[in-house]
Structure 1
Amino acid sequence: MTSYFIQAFIYLLAAVIAVPLAKRYGLGSVLGYLVAGVVIGPVLGLVGQETSTIQHFAEFGVVMMLFLIGMEIDPKALWAMKVRLLGMGGLQVILTAAAGMGVAWVLGLQWQTALTVGLIFALSSTAIVLQTLDEKGLSKTAGGRNAFSVLLFQDIAVIPMLALIPLLALPGLKDSSGSSSDLESGLNLVSGLPGWAHALVVVGAIAVVIVGGFYLSRPLFRYVVKSGLREVFTATALMLVIGIAALMSVVNLSPALGAFLAGVVLANSEFRHELEANIEPFKGLLLGLFFITVGAGINFQVLAAEWATVVSLGIAVIAVKALILLIIAQVFGVRRSDGWLFTLGLAQAGEFGFVLLTYSVQNHVIPVEVSQILSLVVALSMFLTPLLFIVYDRVVLPRYRGPGNDEQEADAIDEQAPVIVAGVGRFGQIVCRLLRANNVPIVVLDHELEQIENVRQINMKSFFGDASRPDLLEKAGIKQARLLVVAIDDRDRAVKMVKHVKHFFPNVWVLARAFDRGHGYQLREAGADDVMSETYHSALELGGHALTAVGVHPMRAKQMTWAFVENEQAHEEELFEAWKEIEQGITFSPRYSELFMKLEEALSSTMHRNWEEPRPEDVPVWTPPAK
């Protein structure tokens, strides 16, 4: 028992140290887990033969991942993005798999193994790409949205791949390695059945999953919820996923296939979010453990002996995928920097490559010695992914954001107005509507083509272009403008834009949207004349409703929110000056903390003062809530 505790401690300690470091340096959590496995396995030798046993257990994290992916799929949303999903995603998987199969076949592998290798390298890293796009604020760009569509198709394509791989088993590998690990228990409902009976059993198992998900899961969860015990709900969620995986295994199907189908069935269930919240921690932990075991299982002797092969294959995978992706981007009109983001972002192999490799070895499709080399190739391509994004940031973007360039040609701005609104998202739209309703002439600029198209549908004149570009501002009439509203969804660009305008056009009054208090201070320091936090007044309004809900008179609640604003404004300058100390390099400012506590004390004192009774003619009829 002691040895199990020690091994568990080693695995968890490696994850706790490596993963935060990897995320801090932009490598992603998957690479962090892989590095942790390499360190405790081949490098330090802290783990040994138990790694392969733990890997079989940790593969259940993949089953949970596909269950959650199934729950995220909304048929209506899929239909709306069918062109990008089926067109771009399907073409990418087919072309990349064909190219990979061709190269593997030329290198002397049997066609079954070559096809499996092609499928493995057709997939990209969902975990690394989506995380990096979010961190860099690129998820909403055309390149980011198309990359997401392809990744979603790849995740769905894993299901038929898992179903296909057992059909490609090589007799020679079966004879040399014995029975499949999936059936070690000996329980197999389809063993020895004729083909028609086998098909009926498989169809019946899938029907049980679908029908049971529709008609049995809801009564079951309602029954469990009535117990009021969260741990029982968690146990029920785990029981559901494990039971489906077991059912698929005994009919010779992939457990991941059953979990995915169950997730799709439960996607519209009222218990969906609770299921996700309960299963997500187990999925993350088991999937992380799986990647650690992959890293720990890397054979450094193979790497030392075949390093030239591994490096050349890794570069070849990235180059071939990038070429195919670039062609697809051009065909579907994703050009300029968006096309390069789409290309470089998806050019690596992915975490599902490890899953398919392990599954292929278990099902006697890929020899163990070949899988060891391919595992190193997959890992190398993932390790190089951060470098591809650096190339995009340092090489591609400067080329397209230089003088006269933009990610897409900016519109010819043929109007000028006394008011310029930069950014017409959920915040800027309200400002524009209010100004237009009062017949105030405005020029609207936005860097998101989708937002521009949306506001044009409501007959609001707007132009596509990066409002932070000085030349576009000048074309929009910044020299003659009276007012600039900065509502762009990028903190740094907003600050730079305010600095530029107040430096060269100091007479223009600048109103700026802030994300939080710190960003508001940055905008003030840059010269903004008026700054408004995007959530400040909505939070105050909701706070007033909260006071009313607990028994405070509506007019009294209004008075309290007004007092809150006055109290904040009274201490604003002091807090701003104290914040400057922090920005100048002081990691902790006692003065700022002291002032903030002073603000809270003054606020508490204000809230408990003697308020004047609201006059009947000033307030609506109101009935206190029942106690």
Structure 2
Amino acid sequence: MTGHGGAGGEYKDLVVFLAAAGVMVPLFNRLRISPILGFLAAGVLLGPDGLARLADTAPWLSWLTISDAGQIRSLSELGVAFLLFMIGLELSWERLKSMRKLVFGLGLTQVAVCTVVLAALFMLMGQTLVSAAVLGMGLALSSTAVVMPVLAERGRVQTTSGRATFAVLLAQDLAVAPILITVTVLAALAESGGDIDAGTLRAALLTLVPAAIGLALLVGLGRLVLRPMFRSVAKAKARGQGQEMFVAASLLVVVGAGLAAQAAGLSMSLGALIAGLLLAETEFRREVELSIEPFKGLLLGVFFVGVGIGLDLDVVVADPLGVFGLAAALTAVKVAMIYGAARLWGVKNKAAIETALVLGPAGEFAFVILGAGLVEGIASPAFTGTVLVAATISIFTVPAMAVLAARLTRAKSAAPDLPADAMEPTPGDKQVLIVGFGRVGRLVGEMLAEHNQDYLALDANAATVAKGRAEGANVFYGDAGRAEMLQLCGIDTARAVIVTMDAPAKVDEVVRAARGLRPDLILIARARDERHAERLYQLGVTDAVPETTEAALQLAENTLVDLGVPMGLVLASIHERRDRFRSLFQQAMPESPGRPRRVRALRSTRRS
């Protein structure tokens, strides 16, 4: 970015990227093409092999191109880390444990088989054993950063094939550090002419020790620090210091965990994944997820632009048939191997086809591993350059492969054909959502549990949430006034929403958000008094329960019974008065075809 000096040129590449995101992505959306392809195309167009070639004849074009590809790639690594962090938030250690057969079975089988077969093919193409092994290991991996957003865009993450795909990608991420160690060992083997002594091997293996220690420290410190830190942030937010505190804390966790993992010799994305897994066990999971979402999308866009910039068009033009043929051959071999491995580990045919097709293209770690091979001097620079271009082209095909998979399998919805221990429940499915988990919400939850009704509770008070979770309640921290939070908590499939908070303005906010998402939803809210109940009916609640009215009726009931009035007469008069109040309140309730007006008496609690 030199040459643009003090006129703000140091931010020129960022401005160009944001402009591309604002133009290319909406254009591709309008054309019903994956926005990922829009970012990839922007990288090719704005990179050194795109418009920059014309900068000599039209200097103004230099302001429309990205001149520092290295800086873009540095930012793109953050995008991959944010993606893995979000994936970790959707998992937990228990769910990850339940997927162990797919991760360490199917995933590691895929890595081993693809490495061996690809290495054998490279040896047939004239590469040495060591060089072929490095190429095979690098290309055996797939692109988490491209595959997962494509699956998410198509609504396939929670399907059978989506889980199998994620298991393989997770195994690949875990394999990166051992592969890099193996490259070091192979370099020592090549230098010794094929004779490697025990000392050299031991020294290479000892490099795994910092990684193991770093991983243990990351998990241990995370368990100790994350919950108290976010509890403190939640208290600050409650004092009116704003949502930016959560955003800052979330950014700190992602970047800090990634840098700590890098320092231990692991990948930044693996550190972010571990941080996500740790936070998934806390009550702050949903709030963090909402805070981090915008940054993940933007930084992933940087990643895709970086991939597009990495496409060396000179190599393609010099030998288009060879480059495209190599890309097609590598993808086809991986598809065949992954399909066979998936079937071997019990994945049904359609899911195996989809898994194999989306994982067939190469991944971003190919650049890391093959780059390490070049540094160690065991990979042919010319041939490796051609392979990297072919790998980049194959990455471009991931969205098309997902479309092809959908057509071949005619996939429309998830089919539970994975092993039972690989299935994870949909959060909030068919549950009752309780908003507010103070004394009233806690009692409502206890009554629901007593009658075998599942519930998920949400509260914006960190201390209340911590107390509830300590007692085993299914309660999370978050602001239910935000539609996104209600969606994350499963309002689309919830059986009912009960709003128990004692702040009338906040109750109104939650009711508006919930009714806007689900016109047909059973929505019951706590009201401060008669006027508040009337307002809630205007907002569309199914039932409103005013505190003052219910307290007065309960007091009257107890008094009359204690005075000797027969219980039956007392209950009848209480029910009659309650129905009269309810009828008056519901006159303000708007008609809705999805929410019929009804008057229903609430049964009074009998004295024991």
Q: What band does the TM-score fall into relative to the shorter chain?
A: 0.5 to 0.7
Equivalent residues of 2:522, 2:542 under 8 A apart? no
> Could you report, residue by residue, the CA deviation over 1:504-561 in whole angstroms, capped at 9, with x for unpaired residues?
xxxxxxxxxx99xxxxxxxxxxxxxxxxx99544245575367436878875567766
Equivalent residues of 1:130, 1:148 under 8 A apart? no
Q: What's the counterpart of residue 4 of structure 1?
A: 10
Is residue 282 from structure 1 mapped to residue 265 from structure 2 by the alignment?
no
Shift of 1:200: 6.4
Q: What's the counterpart of residue 107 of structure 1?
A: 125
Tell me: CA distance 1:28–1:257, structure 2 relative to 1, closer, same or farther (3 Å). Answer: same
Equivalent residues of 1:29, 1:128 under 8 A apart? no
Is residue 538 from structure 1 mapped to residue 521 from structure 2 by the alignment?
yes
Q: What's the counterpart of residue 18 of structure 1?
A: 24
Is residue 273 from structure 1 mapped to residue 286 from structure 2 by the alignment?
yes
- Could you say what secondary structure the match of 1:298 adopts? coil
Q: What's the counterpart of residue 80 of structure 2?
A: 62
| Alignment counterpart, residue 223 of structure 1, candidates 232, 240, 244 | 232
- 2: distance between equivalents of 1:98 and 1:146? 24
Q: What's the counterpart of residue 72 of structure 1?
A: 90
Shift of 1:331: 3.6
- 2: distance between equivalents of 1:30 and 1:40? 15
CA RMSD of aligned residues (A): 4.7
* TM-score, normalization by structure 1: 0.57
Tell me: CA distance 1:276–1:163, structure 2 relative to 1, closer, same or farther (3 Å). Answer: farther
Q: What's the counterpart of residue 328 of structure 1?
A: 341
Tell me: CA distance 1:323–1:274, structure 2 relative to 1, closer, same or farther (3 Å). Answer: same
Is residue 548 from structure 1 mapped to residue 561 from structure 2 by the alignment?
no
Tell me: CA distance 1:618–1:206, structure 2 relative to 1, closer, same or farther (3 Å). Answer: closer
In the TM superposition, 1:379-458 aligns within 5 A as 379-392=392-405, 397=410
- 2: distance between equivalents of 1:561 and 1:367? 79
Q: What's the counterpart of residue 36 of structure 1?
A: 42
Moved more, 546-555 or 262-271: 546-555
Q: What's the counterpart of residue 525 of structure 1?
A: none
> Could you report, residue by residue, the CA deviation over 1:311-330 in whole angstroms, capped at 9, with x for unpaired residues?
11111122212222333354
5+ residue gaps, structure 1, are 176-193, 399-406, 409-424, 431-513, 516-532, 573-602, 623-627
Equivalent residues of 1:163, 1:257 under 8 A apart? no
Equivalent residues of 2:137, 2:179 under 8 A apart? no
- 2: distance between equivalents of 1:198 and 1:385? 34
Q: What's the counterpart of residue 297 of structure 1?
A: 310
Is residue 212 from structure 1 mapped to residue 216 from structure 2 by the alignment?
no
Q: What's the counterpart of residue 567 of structure 2?
A: none
- 2: distance between equivalents of 1:356 and 1:546? 61
* TM-score, normalization by structure 2: 0.59
- Could you say what secondary structure the match of 1:544 adopts? coil
The amino acid that maps onto 2:335 is: A
| Alignment counterpart, residue 165 of structure 2, candidates 150, 160, 173 | 150
Equivalent residues of 2:142, 2:362 under 8 A apart? yes
- Taking every aligned residue pair, what percent have the same amino acid on both sides? 27
Shift of 1:135: 5.7
- 1: distance between equivalents of 2:283 and 2:376? 38
Equivalent residues of 1:315, 1:381 under 8 A apart? yes
- 2: distance between equivalents of 1:292 and 1:331? 37
Equivalent residues of 1:93, 1:122 under 8 A apart? yes
Equivalent residues of 1:89, 1:154 under 8 A apart? yes
- 2: distance between equivalents of 1:299 and 1:137? 33
Shift of 1:82: 4.0
What is the aligned length? Answer: 434
> Could you report, residue by residue, the CA deviation over 1:19-69 in whole angstroms, capped at 9, with x for unpaired residues?
344455565343322111001112211435411233224323333333343
Tell me: CA distance 1:392–1:106, structure 2 relative to 1, closer, same or farther (3 Å). Answer: same
The amino acid that maps onto 2:521 is: S
Tell me: CA distance 1:263–1:544, structure 2 relative to 1, closer, same or farther (3 Å). Answer: closer
Q: What's the counterpart of residue 246 of structure 2?
A: 233
Q: What's the counterpart of residue 468 of structure 1?
A: none
Equivalent residues of 2:357, 2:402 under 8 A apart? yes
- Could you say what secondary structure the match of 1:59 adopts? helix
- Could you say what secondary structure the match of 2:545 adopts? helix
The amino acid that maps onto 1:93 is: V
Shift of 1:161: 0.9
Q: What's the counterpart of residue 347 of structure 1?
A: 360
In the TM superposition, 1:303-318 aligns within 5 A as 303-318=316-331
Equivalent residues of 1:165, 1:365 under 8 A apart? no
In the TM superposition, 1:163-202 aligns within 5 A as 163-165=178-180, 167-169=182-184
Q: What's the counterpart of residue 174 of structure 2?
A: 159
- 2: distance between equivalents of 1:245 and 1:330? 34
Tell me: CA distance 1:8–1:210, structure 2 relative to 1, closer, same or farther (3 Å). Answer: same
- Could you say what secondary structure the match of 2:65 adopts? coil
Tell me: CA distance 1:105–1:32, structure 2 relative to 1, closer, same or farther (3 Å). Answer: farther
- Could you say what secondary structure the match of 1:266 adopts? helix
- Could you say what secondary structure the match of 2:280 adopts? coil
The amino acid that maps onto 2:225 is: L
- 1: distance between equivalents of 2:333 and 2:204? 40
Equivalent residues of 2:16, 2:66 under 8 A apart? no
Shift of 1:87: 3.3
Tell me: CA distance 1:147–1:562, structure 2 relative to 1, closer, same or farther (3 Å). Answer: same
5+ residue gaps, structure 2, are 1-5, 53-63, 192-202, 417-425, 432-491, 494-515, 526-539, 551-577
- Could you say what secondary structure the match of 1:548 adopts? strand
